[in-house]
Structure 1
Amino acid sequence: MNRNCVIIVAAGKGARMKANINKQFLNLKDKPILYWTLKVFEKSNYVDEIILVLAKDEIEYCKSYIIDKYKVKKIKKIVEGGSTRQQSVINGLNAVGECNVVLIHDGARPFINDDIINEGIKYANLYGACACGVVPKDTIKIKEKSGFSMETPKRNTLFCVQTPQCFKYEIILESHKKAYKEKFEATDDTMIVEKYNHKVFLYNGSYSNIKITTPEDLIIGEKILDNSEEVLT
């Protein structure tokens, strides 16, 4: 078996966007953000199927206005999201069938590319767990509660983690099951596998692989699309 599956998590409400709809359904170049995300995986030769995790009250809307409208064929299952991102990922993992590598990706991160997907699958097969990302451009400070700077880590030791985060299926599934049982809460999936003694290989993502989170990100996203022939074709 050499099947690769991506779980696209799109159940969050995105409060920082301050919009009256889920941020994944806001438009970039007259098409929803989630459309652009799905399109990359739909076209990828490295991904066999997509599992889409959505809020319960948005499933029918997404089917009509994105999946059916734009003929996304690789979506094998649509799963109802949970109360947290972590629960949404568990729901997605439980829906996976036969699969070797699982990629977990943010629905609001539309500028992923095929090279990053391919590298993630390669390193997941080699090491069991990996994540893409970039070295921060800014100097990072560790701040005390009082507001003063406590420490300045060396920038070349820091890494801004993006998605997809890629895993051998049995590793991420078992780690999530343990975390659920022990009520361990994490901000991303690499934290969960690290908790259960799996090392995570970090590889180069892209500074363009941003997550659309705030209104300012929509402006940046429009510029990225303007300059990206690959995404627009």
Structure 2
Amino acid sequence: MKEKIVAIVLGAGEGKRMGSGIPKQYMIIKSRPLIYYALKAFEHSPVDEVILVTGEDEIDYCKKYIVDKYQFEKVSRIVAGGRERYESVYLGLRSIGEADYVLIHDGARPMLNADIIRKCIINVRRHKACVVGMPSKDTIKVVDNDTYAVSTPPRRKLWQVQTPQCFDFNLIYDAYQKLMDSGDTTATDDGMVLENYGDQRVKVKLIEGSYDNIKVTTPEDVRIAGSLVKARKLFRFLHNVHDKIIYLQMKILQKRFFTKKKK
């Protein structure tokens, strides 16, 4: 039987740090809502189904102005999320009937691409749990309550965690169920939930994503994301032009070759 891969796209955050007055996932980046880009990446991927988690009052809006408008056929349902990220993930997981693997992604990360999704699927099959991230470029300080430095962890051991975060479905669902039963409210990412409440025989594998795979949180991030989206479109345009030039050159060479042979 064919395996089933489901993506959960999280879009229930209020975006308080943005200070824009509207949820950040609906802010316009290069003529499209921010969350459009993550949904588009999964739409054109091997993922079988997408669960969109959003605010309860935004479900109808999402269906009409995002899912239907942009014809995201893989979005099978839109689920009301919770106040915190971990609650939204749990509600998304609970809405899935059956699945082999699940990819959990922040809708506020617009630079997700096919290569990252491909690596996620390969590695979750192999390791049962993998998280996208990148080695930290900066030195990180641990500080006390008064922001005085306490220690400096070795940079070579530090990664900046991103999404998607990918798991065997039953493995992460069981871990989240235990988290919710415990009343713990400290979980900030899905790998942490598995580390604290999952099968201790399964370790979370870190896989390289991209430094471009930023999470839009502040007004500055909006400008950066806009520039990255513009650069990606330009790259695709130039790549297509390059392919067409190569194709025309090959046609010319073939024509010359066959003309000489006939002579």
TM-score, with length taken from structure 1: 0.95
Q: Is the 8 A contact 1:225 1:231 kept in 2?
A: no
Q: Mind listing any 5+ residue stretches in structure 2 that lack a counterpart?
A: 238-263
Superimposed CA distance per residue, residues 150-180 of structure 1 (whole angstroms, 9 cap, x where no aligned partner): 2111111100000000000000000000111
The farther-off stretch of 7-16 and 147-156 is: 147-156
Amino acid at match of 2:92: G
Identity of counterpart residues, as a percentage? 44
The farther-off stretch of 214-223 and 136-145 is: 136-145
CA separation in 2, counterparts of 1:231 and 1:50? 27
Partner residue of 2:240?
none
Greater RCO (CA < 8 Å, at least 6 residues apart): 1
Partner residue of 1:151?
151
Match of 2:229 among 225, 228, 231: 225
Q: Runs of 4+ in structure 1 displaced over 6 angstroms?
A: 230-233
Q: 1:146 to 1:80 in 2, by over 3 A?
A: closer
Equivalent runs, 1:74-153 vs 2, <5 Å:
74-153=74-153
By percentage of residues, which structure has more helix?
Answer: 2
Partner residue of 2:179?
179
Partner residue of 2:60?
60
CA separation in 2, counterparts of 1:231 and 1:219? 18
Partner residue of 2:18?
17
Quote the RMSD (CA, aligned, Å): 1.5
TM-score, with length taken from structure 2: 0.85
Partner residue of 1:204?
208
Considering only CA atoms, is the larger Rg found in Structure 1 or Structure 2? 2
Partner residue of 1:188?
189
Which SS does the other structure have where 2:70 is aligned? coil
The farther-off stretch of 31-40 and 142-151 is: 142-151
CA separation in 1, counterparts of 2:146 and 2:108? 34
Superimposed CA distance per residue, residues 170-207 of structure 1 (whole angstroms, 9 cap, x where no aligned partner): 00000000111111231111111001323100010100
CA separation in 1, counterparts of 2:88 and 2:68? 23
Partner residue of 1:170?
170
Which SS does the other structure have where 1:206 is aligned? coil
Q: What is the CA-CA distance between 1:50 and the residue it aligns to?
A: 0.2
CA separation in 2, counterparts of 1:61 and 1:144? 43
Q: Mind listing any 5+ residue stretches in structure 1 that lack a counterpart?
A: none
CA separation in 2, counterparts of 1:104 and 1:230? 28
Aligned length: 232
